[in-house]
Amino acid sequence: MRSRFSAYAHGDHQYIVDTYSQEKRANLDIEDIKDSSDGCYWFALVIHHSDDIYTSDAVNSKYFVEFSAFYIINDTLCEMREKSSFVLEEGQWRYVEGDIFKHNELNKLSRNQTCPCNDYPTAWTVSASKKSALAKKAKKYKQCCGK
């Protein structure tokens, strides 16, 4: 799940296609994925819950992840909450489908407010070093994610 989120954040559309299950991949068009994510700045992922259903037949093993992905589009902070299912194929977990049960605009962002990525510990833009993360806290939206 995290690697797929990272692919969305980086715009690595081929990786997103490659991590779909074989069944779903056959009906995908990379341009559709690109079009659906253009203009979105994905910056934070929160995993709420995950569970797995292993069977004696590894082909039928499934993994479920409930998460929220936060993004900015047109200076609007949004949350998409989804429960996704994954299946084990060729030793890799592949995305099958997701049930989006919450997709909200959280608030309109102004250029001079503190950047919303500071509110999320998993923010993509926060550096791994504590010093950089603390320095970032003072940045305004226009100097951070709003560039």
Residue 63: which of 45, 86, 96 has the closest Cα?
86
pLDDT at residue 57, as a whole number = 55
The answer to the question of residue 138 being in a domain is no
Domain hosting 72: range is 2-109
Mapped onto helix, strand or coil, the DSSP state of residue 49 is strand
Concatenate the DSSP letters of all residues of 55-116 into one string: -SSGGG-EEEEEEEEEEEETTEEEEEEEEEEEEEETTEEEEEEEEEEEEEEEEE--TTSBPG
Is residue 15 over pLDDT 60?
yes
Residue type, 62: K
Q: What is the mean pLDDT of the chain?
A: 83
**Model confidence at 53: pLDDT above 80:** no
What is the C-alpha separation between 41 and 82, in angstroms, rounded? 18
User: pLDDT tens for residues 69-102?
Assistant: 999 999 999 999 999 999 888 888 899 999 999 9
Instruction: For residue 125, tell me if it sits in a domain.
Output: no
What CATH number is associated with residue 18? Answer: 3.10.450.50
Q: For the whole model, what pTM was predicted?
A: 0.81
